[in-house]
Every structure is written in structure tokens, then in C-alpha cells.
Amino acid sequence: MLNHFRRWRERGWTEIAPSDYAAAWARFGGSVVTHPQIIERLSALADIAPRYLGWFVEGKLIAALSAWGRYLALSKAALKAQGQKGLFDLGNAEIIIPSACVPPGVAPPVLRHSARYLSGQCATRFSGLKKQREQLALARPLADFSSKFRYNQRRELRLLTEAGGILRPAADFSPAEFAAIYLDLFVRRWGFAATGAKHTAEVFELLAEFMTGSIIFLHDAPIAAQVIYRVESPEWVSVEYINGGVDPRQRAFSPGSVLTWKNIEAAWADAVARNKALRYSFGRADRDYKERWCTLHPMFEV
């Protein structure tokens, strides 16, 4: 099923080595879900061999993609087609395909592999895309938050700290420990298991080097955690906020809000220190709270 109409889909594209794809990502940049190591490791978990393709102009590679049959690699739809729905959770992550600006007078690469949540950046460098109804939520620059908003965040943090709350880096915990904390808080918050719960510890082990963010503790008990992945491109840092959990018994301290603010604040500080743009994605704009934290951007699909 994944190989249906492959010759048509790949017209204009040339098979390349995984190392060529990795070099293209390192040169052009991308996002969390197009990072070569993340694709390689999660493809192995899913037991789906990725196929790497490049688009060449006058012998020079100007775009590269990784595919699972007729889908871009790591696609939810591809997992579902293989009977592995919900194997892992990457949310509705922003897709930035490694690519260069097309030279003047040259037709852009044509995307025919099925994909959703393609970045607006892709729309300027590829053909075959159409605008999605949903929009992408990207965290606002800190300066775009009102002084009242920033004051309220500091106040919430102060109240939590005075009550004994502390933030600890997620990196202080092993993947198994962090998975246990996250899965417990997710169930507490939502009343059902997180997507991919059975394999969460394994996924966190595979992607540990890309995980970032903090966990809030109150009296030595975790009360808020968020699953966040980070990758760095030559010109920007991509951060993907996948999901989170909070202890609803501590709602009075707004731990989810405090953690969101501190994670965004830390990500902006990191990007500024590296003199790079920040693309901190909350995925699709499907919840009202995201508009509180984010600006909305168009997304595209094939």
C-alpha cells in the first residue's frame, strides 16, 4: 500500500543516500519531524524503511525529503495504514522540508507525497501544495506579551515558589523516569492514557538528546510536565511542544501556565544567545488557549 504509484510520486526526484539527506538537513535546515536522526530512530521503531529523495538542479541538490511510501516519513496516516496507529506521539508538528531557494527561472520541486501541517516556508519553495483550513500556532516573541501578561506570569511563579514549588530540568531525569511522570500527569489531567503510552519510555530513550523543558514539583511531587523536542538549523531553532500533563488538584497555582511561560522564556533565551530565529510550535491552532500564547500562521498540505 505504501508503494502505490511510486513512479508517479517520485517523478523529478532521485533516490539519495541517508547521508545525503542528513547533509541537506544540516545545510538547509528543517524541523523536528524532518530531522534525520529522529526519522531514522522512529522509523526503526515502526519497522518502516524510509526512502530518501533529492531534487537536483544542474547537478546540485536543492531539496531533500524522507518518505514512507506515499507519505512523508513519520506520518500518522502512514502508521495507521500499517496498523500501528498511535505508536508514538509527535502531535501535529510543523513540517519544514530541507530545501534551498529555487534559482530564478527554475520551476520549484513538486511535492506529491501526502503530508499535512507543512510550514508556510515550504509553500514558497515547492509546488503542489494547497492551504489547509487549520493554522499553525507559533509562540509569540516575549516582547509581544503585554506588561500585564508578563506581570501575571511572574506573580503566578512567585506564588508557586512561595508554596514550595520548584522547576527542575527534564534532563535531570532518565527517559523512563520522565515517561512515568508525564504519563501519570497526563491521565490525571485528561482521564485517559496518552497517545503511544505503551512505547513512551522507549521513544523518550530514542529521542533523549532532543528533549528539553522543565518539570514543576510541589513538595517533591511532580505537578506539571510537557513533552518538548528541540532541533537546531543553521538559521533557526525549532521547538515542538507535543503534549503535557498537570495535576488538577494543584490548579490554584496554575502550574500549566507557569510551565508554559518558563519553557517559552528559556527557548527564546537560547535562540537569542545563538543569534537565531525561534520557531516554537504548539502544533495546529485547535484550542483557544493557544491563541493566548501564540500567533497563527497558515499551514499547507498535499
Helix axis angle, 255-273 relative to 147-162, nearest 10°? 120
The rounded distance, in Å, linking the Cα atoms of 14 and 12 is: 7
> Cell numbers at residue 215, please?
518539570
Output the pLDDT for position 103: 82
The rounded distance, in Å, linking the Cα atoms of 227 and 236 is: 20
Q: Classify the phi-psi angles of 106: left when phi > 0, otherwise alpha if psi is within -120 to 50, otherwise beta.
A: beta
User: Phi first, then psi: what are they for 112, rounded to 5°?
Assistant: -125, -5
The rounded distance, in Å, linking the Cα atoms of 63 and 65 is: 7
User: CB–CB of 31/231 below 8 Å?
Assistant: yes
Beta bridge partners of 227: 243
Give alpha helix (H) positions in 31-146. Answer: 36-46, 76-81, 120-123
* DSSP per-residue letters across 67-102: EETTEETT-HHHHHHTT-TTSS--TT--B---B-PP
Output the pLDDT for position 104: 85
Residues 6+ apart with CB under 8 A from 177: none
Q: How far is CA 170 from the centre of its chain?
A: 17
Output the pLDDT for position 229: 98
pLDDT tens digit at each of 302 positions of the chain: 455 588 888 899 999 999 999 999 999 999 999 999 999 999 999 999 999 999 999 999 999 999 999 999 999 999 999 999 999 999 999 999 999 988 888 899 999 999 999 999 999 899 999 999 999 999 999 999 999 999 999 999 999 999 999 999 999 999 999 999 999 999 999 999 999 999 999 999 999 999 999 999 999 999 999 999 999 999 999 999 999 999 999 999 999 999 999 999 999 999 999 999 999 999 999 888 899 999 999 999 99
The rounded distance, in Å, linking the Cα atoms of 194 and 112 is: 32
Output the pLDDT for position 149: 94
Give the number of other Cβ atoms within 10 Å of residue 167's Cβ.
Answer: 20
* DSSP per-residue letters across 130-169: EEEEEEEEEEPPGGGS-HHHHHHHHHHHHHHHHTTEEEEE
Output the pLDDT for position 1: 47
Query: Exposed, middle or buried by CB within 10 Å (0-12, 13-18, 19+), for 89?
Result: middle
Q: Map out the domains of the chain with their CATH numbers.
A: 6-128 (no CATH), 138-294 (3.40.630.30)
Q: How far is CA 2 from the centre of its chain?
A: 24
Q: Which residue has the cell 534551498?
A: 100
User: CB–CB of 226/171 below 8 Å?
Assistant: no
Q: Is the pTM of this model over 0.75?
A: yes
Output the pLDDT for position 139: 97
Residues 6+ apart with CB under 8 A from 108: 102, 125, 126, 127
Q: Which of 38, 32, 63 is nearest to 50 (CA)?
A: 38
CA separation (Å) from 147 to 11, 116, 158, 243, 265? 53, 36, 16, 27, 15
Residues 6+ apart with CB under 8 A from 221: 247
